[in-house]
């Protein structure tokens, strides 16, 4: 039986991760659509997320990326964290038990079946200081991402 973990990168995590992890675990984090986050230990050896409901204009991942909760958690991560990596990091922390990752700690290279190409559209009101971002994503395929546990 395989594992989506490709390699343990380090026993360490980034500075502040333990506080971030404790905070995320103490909050009502974003739940993925119908909790359809799975660990595939067959030939694909990956963590995968349910595809968009038929007839919807956006994927379930895009829906999560465009929630205020996601933006809040993403802003707490290190500057420059890619939205797709931030999404995977949050989902791994949210579904740690379901994904059989409870005994792991450190930094890992993990294989995901995820929409890794995320696009940020900036909607800036001309006479205000408010800037709104919206995300879209495509290219669901296998991608390796560095995630902390």
> What's the pLDDT tens digit per position in 14-73?
999 999 999 998 887 777 777 778 888 776 799 988 765 555 556 788 888 888 899 999
Backbone angles phi and psi of 135, in degrees to 5: -110, 145
CA distance 82 to 77: 10
Q: Mind listing the pLDDT tens digit for each residue in 33-42?
A: 777 788 887 7
């Amino acid at each position: 039986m395989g594992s989506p973990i490709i390699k343990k990168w380090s026993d360490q995590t980034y500075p502040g991760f333990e506080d971030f992890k404790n905070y995320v675990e103490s909050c009502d984090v974003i739940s993925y659509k119908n909790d359809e986050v799975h660990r595939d230990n067959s030939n694909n050896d990956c963590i995968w997320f349910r595809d968009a409901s038929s007839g919807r204009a956006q994927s379930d991942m895009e829906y999560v990326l465009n929630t205020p909760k996601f933006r809040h958690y993403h802003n707490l991560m290190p500057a420059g964290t890619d939205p797709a990596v931030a999404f995977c990091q949050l989902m791994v922390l949210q579904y740690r038990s379901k994904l059989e990752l409870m005994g792991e700690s450190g930094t890992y290279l993990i294989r995901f079946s995820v929409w890794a190409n995320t696009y940020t559209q900036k909607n800036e009101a001309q006479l205000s200081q408010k800037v709104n971002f919206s995300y879209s994503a495509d290219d669901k395929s296998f991608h390796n991402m560095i995630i902390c546990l």
